[in-house]
Structure formats: structure tokens, C-alpha cells
A and B are shown apart, each in its own frame.
Chain A
Amino acid sequence: MSRSFFARNPSVLIFIAVLALFTLAVTMASEAAGSGALSTSFVKTLGKTLCLCLVALAMDLVWGYTGILSLGHMAFFGLGGYMIGMWLMYARTESIVAASMSNAAIPPTDQEIVDAIGTQIFGVVGSSEFPPVWAFADSLWMQLALVVLVPGALALAFGWLAFRSRVTGVYLSILTQAMTLALALYLFQNDSGLRGNNGLSGLQNIPGLTGVPQADVSLWFFWASAFALGAGYLLCAWVVSGKFGSVIRGIRDDEARVRFLGYSVEGYKLFVFTFTAVIAGIAGALYYPQAGIINPAEIAPIASIYLAVWVAIGGRGRLYGAVIGAAIVSLLSTMFTGGQVPNLPLGFYTIHWVDWWQVLLGLSFVLVTLFAPKGIGGLFDLVTGRRSPERHGADLGPDSGSFQEKEAEE
């Protein structure tokens, strides 16, 4: 079975091989294990980029394959980050507090330790008590489970409500956007118990690894991200390759027809929505310890729109397209906004890329949407010589999420 799976999907093997080579190359060039040609901050950037590729993969599954344009998947990404961040903050603060309290004349009670941790963590928002959401923050395993459970449960509840009442197309997009906006606004409140606008910070300092330099930590996280991306890719490829994949593509192109064929469209959609939310949560849990801080702005609707844009530019409906889109756009953004691209003097006006990058990015969305609906991934078709099916101008399906003739494949 597995042989036939890879045989049918040669791109999976190629992808895994490229990823492995890339990981090896970065390792050898890193400060921790190699020549030091890549700075630690750049290794972190690359590690974060891999996490973004993973969430883009999830986005591609839900949008490119199932036709649900979710503008809320970064909410799940952020929730994953919050869940792991709670443990990181708690455990780190606990070690600081325990160290400082051990000097006291009288050994502290458990309650005193917890109170002191609370004061440290919530001092910045003018409180000192642990809100109920922090109930499991002292346990790494519980929080790791919550990384999967919380985004999953939210997606399940939201998806159940939305799909059950047949909210589709643009309405669903706007609804998911409203969801992520509501979550961001909620987390912005100090009363939400997750430190409001300050968010959770100092996440790059892993408890118990205080003596380990960031160069090592960043490399470990890079490996973990690469592994997660590889595993995620394999899993997604497996999901979309079988009969399940055919059904969800059918839902994308003509939902009504699939329903009339007797499939539980809502069930499939709900599964994909929840499954991708879980992937997004895991990606977030790997991303934020590398970023160092998470706050509600990360969940703002704009982040999810960017996610859709990465997938669109990379080429939706093909998994490697999503990965390529996320990697290229986010790395280019880093370069341009970081002032690393030289200014372009035009004689009468000098283009400062810091000022003009957003304009360029915005216009490139338009151009890609208009002229290259297959995205960057479409270039591979030129190499492989893949031809689109001839439909004599007819669309593959009437639904708003369905593929147009020239972007279809397989």
C-alpha cells in the first residue's frame, strides 16, 4: 500500500528529500553545529518559516482541497502558541521564584510559591491571581495536550455550528474572520487572563535549559519544525490521495452533487476544518517559542488573510505550492521590511523598500490572482509537462470555491 502511495505521489518523496537536505544544510551552516555562516537569528527565522509552511499546508488542505476559504486559521495557530506559552512562562517563573524563595528564613508553602509566581506573571497587568485558564499551566503534558485540544475543540464547535446551518462561500469566510477578530479582541482584554496586550513573553528561554545557548535551542527548534513539516506533509498527502481526498475535492467543486451522492458533506468538512485547526495549533506551538512572544495582535484577522495570500501565491490545491508560497513570501517580507534590500534610486525619486514593499506585495496579489491563478506551483507543471484537462471552457464546478479550468490538476 505504502509503495503505491509514494508511487502515486512522487512529489512527496521529492519534498521530503528536499526538506531533509535543507535541514542538513542549515545544520551544517549554523552557529551551534557547523560553520556559523548562518546567524542564530536567521536560523530562528528559518525555523519559524517552516512553522508557517506547516500552517500554510493546513490552509491549503482546507481551502485548496475542500474549498472552504477560512480566514481564521491563524487563530488556531495563535491558540497553540498560547497553550505552550502558558507552560513556558509558568515553569520559567517557577524556577526563578523557587530560587529566590529558597533564600528565605522559613521555607515557603506551596501556596506562597504559586502566589509569588502569579505576582510575577500577572504583575504587569496589575493582578496577582491565577485565572482558571491557567489551571494546568504547571504540567507540560497537559499543556501539550491542550495545544491539540483547544484549537481542535474551538474548530469543532465553530465548524459544527457553521456547517450545520449551511453557511458557505464568502459568508463562511467573513464568519471565520469575525471569529478570529472576536478571539483577538477577547484576548486583548486584561480580564481574559492571558496578560492582555502584553501577551506571553520570553518564550525563547526554555525552562530547564537555562545554561544552553540560544544557538543550540534555535537549532533544536529548527529540527523540530522541519520534522513537523515533513510529518505534516506526509499526513496531508496521505489524506488527500485516497478516496477521502476525492470526496473533499468533490465538495470543493460541486458541493450539492456530492451531497446528492449520499456523502455527509458536513461531516467531511467538519473533519477537515478540525484536522487543519489541530495542525495549525501544533505549528503555532512550535512557532512561538522561536518568536519569543505571543500577543493578541498575532491573531488579528489580517494574519489569516496573509495566510490565504501565501497559499494563493504558492498555488492552491497542491501541497508543495502552499509550502513554497509561505516560505517565499514570508522570507521576502523579512528581507524587505528589514531594510536589507538596497534602495533603488530612480534619479527623480529613491525607492525605499521599507516604504514600498507593502505596495509591491499588494499589487503582486492582484497580479497573481489575475494572471497566474496556479501560483508559483504552476511553474512545476511546465517542468513536468502536466496538461490541464480540456473542458471546453466550462468550469469544474459551480461553487464559489471550485477550481477554474486553468488551475485544475490531477
Chain B
Amino acid sequence: MTKYLLAALAALMLCVGMAAAQDSPLQTLMQEHRALIEKASRKTIEPAIAALRDSGLPEAQTVLEKWQAKELWQRKEDGLFFFAEKLDGSAYQLIDIAGGGSVGEAEKSDLKQLKPNSGVRSLIGAALVQFQLLSPDRRKRVEALDAIQRDPAPEHLEALAGAIEEEPDAEIRARKERLVQLLTISFSDDETKRIEAINAFAGDTGVDARAALNPLLATTREAVAGDIPDGVNVANTLKPGQEEFSKEAAYDLLVTKDLAPRRISTADKRAALEANIVDGRVGGVPLAQLNTDGARERAYANLAEAGVVPPTATEAEVQAALDTHSFYDRYAEASIAVTDAARATLTSINTRVGLNQAADLTLDALSLASIYFLAAIGLAITFGVMGVINMAHGEFIMMGAYTGYVVQQVIPDYTVSILVALPLAFAVTFAAGVAMERLVIRWLYNRPLETLLATFGISIALQQLAKNIFGTQARPLTSPSWLDGALVFNDVVSISYIRIAIFVLALIFLGVFLFIMRRTRLGLEVRAVTQNPAMAASMGINPDRINMLTFGLGSGIAGIAGVAIGLYAKVTSELGSDYIVQSFMTVVVGGVGNIWGTLLGATMIGFLQKGIEWMNPSNTLAAQTYMIIFIIIFIQFRPRGIIALKGRAAGD
């Protein structure tokens, strides 16, 4: 019984709610523009947003904000708009958009969530500017500034200028002032103010500054009969036949401007010939002979003579047309003073930007070098010091990365998990390295080529094992939030924190390596065993133990490198094989047996690759190809690497 009562009550409430919803002026206004709002498109939505913005209704701002945040819903049966809150199951609580509170419940299947696309959202954002610029909420003011920056409009200039005085927050105030300057450049009517604003940006590397200045210097290519008319802001005059403006291009320009007749293309000619086949002949030329260009010319000329087809424009006619016209690039901006100022400012900016780009490229190259170094440092120990070719080195890197992934599955906190993963990855790969050294490699000392094959076997077995265990999909390895983002110097120079972390890690390993090799007993023994195992053994050093530990150390470092590489790129079973050839080349180029050589090798490869990428930005693959070719040639001239060991340390 109570169930029915409740249902009746709910139905009653629904009716009341409906009535209220239908009554509110806001709902009425929205219903007027219902069609536009339902099928929101950036191209058509403007009137609906403007109506809401200019309605003067107090709730309009909330509606716009909710709509922007995809929190506006529509009931399918009557098309009314609501806010909604999720209840248990699939039911939603409907809330009146005009602030009337709850107006009943509805099933999800009866509702439609409005999902404006980001183009529409940015228009809503622009409309919200007037409400938000002076909002007490700091976040909303920032949002408003973002919206202006994305879609600058002339009407924002005044509103923004008026909002500077009352701005309490220094940072936002500075941003507002900068935005006003930028808007002045684009939209102000006052020429002196614009030029002032333009000059203020001299040497500024911000993308926004260039984004405001460059459109002033946008040009269109024009062609006119006779001389260039007065009062046009000419960027430069062009002569047909000069560099980058061929006579063909000039004539084509005339054709597109309807100042000259179209030339007849070979396809047109062919079509014309085809249309005029008479008794197996075209213009008197037999069809079978028309398989050369000369014969076709002849046939066409015959047809033209007979007046069947239009004659082709001769060279002389083309030249005459070019001679009687002027060609020039015209600035869209009418004021010469403004374009001059903009050009001067941009020149100063571009010099600055060029320098900064060089700095950015250097940072990129350093970062790449540190990644190569990190991947290669373990190899510098196993290959460089011990002379063991370990083709499974890449798979140790992969094991480290997977260790990181597994740890993150167990420990959800990213910071803690990374701190746990680093030593654990070291332990895992250290153990794997020791096991491999004991079981396989120690039987093959002095047989480096066999080691290569055996470790290659281990490499493909490990790769397949990883696939069997973790599947073929890439696994997520997420960096802690304090490594998110980038260290931004300005709009041109920036480097992500994760790359800085890798750089620091590489430096730390360099230090650790140097410390172990130069300052510890282990290092001394390693050097002794490497140079002369028999002599070292007779001095009381156990070469077996030393080899085992050294190999474990090299493998362990590969594991840590794996965690770092997994953080910045991806964790897949093929992670290791991506780095193995590069790593070997790093060590070989640098000079085997010398950590400084590996460092130099990594630096050289990193800078080289970035340098080639910079010269040919649209093809990264080419950069890698040429880098490898360069390395091959380099090794021809320095077969022992950049830093070649000399004397006894060289072994042979």
C-alpha cells in the first residue's frame, strides 16, 4: 500500500517539478534554442550561447558552466533540460536548472547527457569570460584568461582592460596586462597604441607574442594589370622568372585571377584528340601513330588549324601577359607603420627564438645521450670491462621495467613503488646476471663469438617468456606525480622532469661506477682480473667470484635503467631489443673498457641524432639511418673508439 502511495507522491512531485521547470524563463529560453543545443556545433551554436549570456538571468552563468562541464542533461520525452546527480543503480536525481532544487528522478535510459565538443566548450568559455573575469574564485579568473587566449575577440579588450585594476593576485594581474597588450596588437583602433604594444614585445620568446605578431605580417600574392595601385601595403614586388616565383607560377596566378586564359593541359589535349577521331584518324594523323608526343602535337595543331579545338597559348602570348601585369605580395594589415614595427619586433624575437631553440635542442640531445648512457652503462661493465658480449643485456633492461610494473601492481602509491622498484629491479637483474654468468658465460670466456650466440639464445628465450607471462600488450608504468610535467624556462626551452631524473640517474651511475672501480677493493680486483686473470689468481684473488660479481653488477644496473626507461617510454617485451644495438654502438664508439669513452660515445650519438633530426625534421627514421652510417664510418677511422686503451690495459 505504502508503495503505491510513494509512487503517487513521486508522480505528483514529478508533475510539480515539470510545471516548475517549464515555467522558469531560463528553461523557456533554452527550449527556444533547443534544436541548436541538442546538436551543438561550433558553427551554429553562437546564437544559443549569446542568448544565454545576454539574458541577464542570474542562473545563466551556472547553466553555461554546467553545460561546459558536460553536466547538463535532457529528458528524452519532453526535451527539458536539467542538472542531474547519480543515485543508486541507473537512476538519476533531476535538479531544476533555474535553481528550483530537485524535481524528481529518472532512469538513465530516459535521459540524454549533453556532451558539447571542445569547440563548443571553448565558445561557452568565451561567453563566460564576462562573468568570470571579476569572479572571486581565482580558478575561474584563470579559466577566463585561458578562454580569451584561445579565442581572442575584439570585445574582450575592453572588458579585460577594466578588470586589471581590481585584480588582487599579482600573477594573474601580470597575465591580464600581457593579454591586454596582445589584444591591443590584434584589435585596437589606435595605431600608436598598437605600435607601442608591438614594441613592448621585442625579444619576447612567448608563443603568444609571435601568435599575435605573425598574423600582422601575413601576405597574399596579388596580380594586377598595369602598375601596383596606391595605398596598398606592399610587402615585396615580384618579377616572374625570379627565384621561387617561376614564370609558370606567375601565369597560373594570372589564370586563377581570371586575368589570362587557361593553358591547355596534356590531359585536355588528349581528350580533345579522342573526341575528334574520324575514320581512325585524328587531324589526318592515323591513330596507330599517336603513341608519341610529337605526333599528338601535330594532330592537335591540325585540329586547331581546322578550328575544331582552341589553339594553345604560345610562349610569346604568355610572355606578353606576364609583361603587362604586376605581381606583388600584399600585407593583410593596412597600416605600413604597424607592419614595419611588427617586422622589427619579430626580427628581434626570431633571433632570440633561434638561440633558444639551439638551447632546447642541446637539452634534448643531452637527454637522449643520458638515456643511451643509462642503457649502455651496464654493458660498459660486462662488455667494456669483462669483454663479455651479452646480447641479453636488453632483456635485463626489460626485466627491470617489468619489475617496476609488478611493484606498481602491489604498491599503489607511485612514489613509494618507484623507491621500492629501483633496488628490487637491481636485485632481480643482479640475480639473473649471476645465474647466467655461473651457468653459461663462465664456460665461454675467451670465446666471445660463442658467448654472443649463447646469450642471444637467452635473449630470445627471455623475450618470449616475458610475452608468455605478461602478454603482448604494453604494460603501464606510471611515474609519480612529482615527475609529471616539465621544467619550463620559456615557451621554447623546456625539458620534462622525467628526463631530468634520467639525466641525474645517469650521473649518479657514472659516479657509482667510478667509485667502485677506483676506490673499492672490488674495483681493484676487477681491474686485476680483467688485465691478467692468471696473475690475479696467483695474488690471491678469486677470479670466479670477481667475474660473477662484476657481471651481476652490470646486469643490476641494466635493471635500474629498465625502470627509468619504462617510466619515460613503454614497457613491452621488445623494450630491450630496441636498445641493444644502440647500446653496443655506444660502447664501441666510445672505446671499450673506459667509462669516459662510453659517456663520450653516448653524448656523440645523442647530439648527432638530434642534429640530423633538426636538419630533416620530417623524417626521424632518416636521422637514425644516417647516424648508424656515420658510426660505421667513424669506426673505420678509430677502430678502437674515441678513447682507445693503451698499453697493458688494452689487453692485446
Separation in Å of the B457 CB from the closest CB of chain A?
3
- Which candidate, B19-27, B128-136, B288-296, B399-407, is the interface stretch facing chain A? B288-296
* A-chain residues with CB within 8 Å of residue B440 when the two chains form the complex: 366, 370
Residues in chain B within 8 A of chain A (CB atoms): 270, 273-274, 277, 282, 287-288, 290-293, 296, 389, 391, 440, 443-444, 446-450, 452-454, 456-465, 467-468, 577, 581, 584-585, 588, 619, 621-622, 624-625, 628-629, 631-633, 635-637, 639
Do B465 and A167 touch (CB < 8 A)? no
Q: Which residues of A contact B460 (CB under 8 A)?
A: 358-359, 361-362
Size band of the interface chain A makes with B: 35 or more
Which of A20-28, A30-38, A142-150, A177-185 has 4 or more CB atoms under 8 Å from chain B? Answer: A177-185
Q: Which A residues are CB-close (under 8 A) to B581? A: 177-178, 181, 301
Is A369 a contact of B450 with CB atoms below 8 Å?
yes
A305 and B460 alpha carbons, distance in the complex (Å): 11
Whether the Cβ atoms of A109 and B458 lie closer than 8 Å is: no
Q: Which 3 A-B pairs have the closest CB atoms?
A: A365-B457, A362-B461, A358-B464
**Given A108-B291, A358-B461, A182 contacting B448 (CB threshold 8 A):** no
Nearest CB in chain B to that of A113: its residue: B291
A358: B residues at CB distance < 8 A: 460-461, 463-464
B282–A106 contact, CB under 8 A?
yes
Residues of A within 8 A of B465 (CB): 359
Binary contact track A354-372/B, C-beta < 8 Å → 1, others 0: 0111111111111001100
Interface string of A157-170 (1 = CB under 8 A from B): 01001101111011
In-complex Cβ contact of A188 among B282, B389, B621, B636 (8 A): B621
Instruction: Tell whether, in the assembled complex, residue A362 and residue B635 are in contact, meaning their CB atoms are under 8 Å apart.
Output: no
**Quick one: which of A326-345 are within 8 Å of B by CB?**
none
- Are B457 and A106 neighbours in the complex by a CB distance under 8 Å? no
Closest residue of chain B to A367 (Cβ to Cβ) is: B457
- A363 vs B292: C-alpha distance in the bound complex, in angstroms? 65
Check if A359 sits within 8 Å of B636, measured CB to CB.
Answer: no
A286 and B440 alpha carbons, distance in the complex (Å): 38
Q: CA separation between A179 and B585, bound complex, in Å?
A: 12
A164→B636 CA distance, assembly (Å): 8
24 residue pairs bridging A and B, Cβ less than 8 Å apart: A69-B452, A105-B287, A109-B291, A165-B636, A167-B636, A171-B588, A175-B632, A178-B585, A179-B632, A182-B628, A189-B621, A189-B622, A308-B453, A312-B450, A358-B460, A358-B461, A361-B461, A362-B459, A362-B460, A362-B464, A365-B453, A366-B440, A400-B446, A400-B447
In the complex, what residues of B have CB within 8 A of residue A404's CB? 447
A185 in contact with B464 (CB, 8 Å): no
Closest partner residue, chain A, to B633 (CB atom): A161
Q: A165-B637, A358-B460 are in contact. Are A106 and B447 (CB under 8 A)?
A: no
Contact of B448 among A161, A165, A169, A305 (CB under 8 A): A169
Q: Other than A109-B296, A174-B585, A358-B463, give 6 A-B pairs with Cβ distance below 8 A.
A: A111-B293, A165-B635, A178-B631, A181-B628, A302-B577, A359-B461
Interface residues of A in 97-131 (CB under 8 A from B): 105-111
- Complex: chain A residue closest to B291, CB-CB: A107
- Beyond A305-B456, A365-B456, whether A167 also contacts B622 by CB under 8 A is no
Q: Is the CB of A309 within 8 A of B464?
A: no
The 8 Å CB contact of A170, one of B449, B457, B464, B585, is: B449
Question: What residues of B have a CB within 8 angstroms of the CB of A191 in the complex?
Answer: 619, 622
Contact of A401 (CB < 8 Å), options: B282, B449, B628: B449
Q: What CA separation (Å) do A169 and B451 show in the bound complex?
A: 12
A109-B291, A355-B467 as given contacts; A167 in contact with B452, CB under 8 Å? no
- In the complex, A361→B453 CA distance in Å? 12
Residues A105 and B277 in contact in the complex (CB < 8 Å), given A161-B636, A175-B632, A312-B453: yes
Instruction: Name the A residues within 8 Å of B636 (CB-CB).
Output: 161-162, 164-165, 167
> Which residues of chain A are within 8 angstroms of B632 by Cβ–Cβ distance?
158, 161, 175, 178-179, 182
Bound CA–CA A355/B457 (angstroms): 16
Given contacts A106-B270, A106-B282, A370-B443, A186 and B464 within 8 Å (CB-CB): no
Q: Are B287 and A107 in contact (CB under 8 A)?
A: yes
Asked whether, in the complex, the Cβ of B625 is within 8 Å of the Cβ of A185, the reply is yes
Measured CA separation A182–B290 after assembly (Å): 47
Give Cα A108 to B287, complex, Å: 10
Residues of A within 8 A of B446 (CB): 400
Contact call B457/A186, Cβ cutoff below 8 A: no
In the assembled complex, which residues on chain B have CB atoms less than 8 Å from the CB atom of A171? 588, 635, 639
- Find chain A residues with CB under 8 A from B282 CB: 106
Q: Is there a chain B Cβ closer than 8 Å to A93's Cβ?
A: no
A244 to B1, CA, bound (A): 108
- Minimum Cβ distance to chain A for residue B396 (Å): 15
Q: How far is the CA of A312 from the CA of B444 in the complex (A)?
A: 15
A267 vs B399: C-alpha distance in the bound complex, in angstroms? Answer: 44
Please give me the residue from chain B that is nearest to A302 by CB atom. Answer: B577
- A250 / chain B contacts, CB cutoff of 8 Å: none
- Give the CA-CA distance A69 to B451 in the complex, in Å: 12
**Contact of A314 with B by CB under 8 A:** no
Residue of A nearest to B629 (CB): A182
- Min Cβ gap A329→B in Å is 12
Name the B residues within 8 Å of A400 (CB-CB).
446-449
With CB as the reference atom, state the residue of chain A lying closest to B463: A358
| Distance to closest chain B CB from A94 (angstroms) | 15
Is A78 at the interface (CB under 8 A from chain B)?
no
A366 touches B273 (CB 8 A): no
Q: How far is the CB of A159 from chain B (nearest CB, A)?
A: 11
Q: Give Cα A158–Cα B632 distance, bound, in whole angstroms.
A: 9
A278-295 CB contacts (< 8 Å) to partner B: none
Looking at the assembled complex, report how far the CB atom of A254 sits from the nearest CB atom of chain B, in whole angstroms. Answer: 13
Chain A hits for B459, CB < 8 A: 362
Complex interface bits, A11-48 against B, C-beta within 8 A gives 1, otherwise 0:
00000000000000000000000000000000000000
CA distance A400 to B449 in the complex (A): 7
Which A residues are CB-close (under 8 A) to B633?
Answer: 161
A237 to chain B, nearest CB (A): 24
CB-CB nearest in chain A for B392: A362
Pick from B274, B453, B639: contact of A165, CB under 8 Å? B639
In the complex, the chain A residue whose C-beta lies closest to that of B467 is A355
User: When A174-B585, A355-B464, A358-B460 are in contact, do A185 and B447 touch as well, CB less than 8 Å?
Assistant: no
Please tell me if A198 contacts chain B, counting CB pairs below 8 Å: no
Residues of B within 8 A of A312 (CB): 450, 453
Tell me, rounded to whole Å, the shortest Cβ–Cβ distance linking B607 to chain A.
18
Contacts of A356 in B (CB 8 A): 464, 468
**CB < 8 Å: which of B296, B448, B621, B635 contacts A167?**
B635
In the complex, the chain B residue whose C-beta lies closest to that of A185 is B625
Q: Is the CB of A109 within 8 A of B293?
A: yes
Tell me whether A69 and B461 are in contact (CB under 8 A).
Answer: no
Q: How far is the CA of A273 from the CA of B573 in the complex (A)?
A: 34
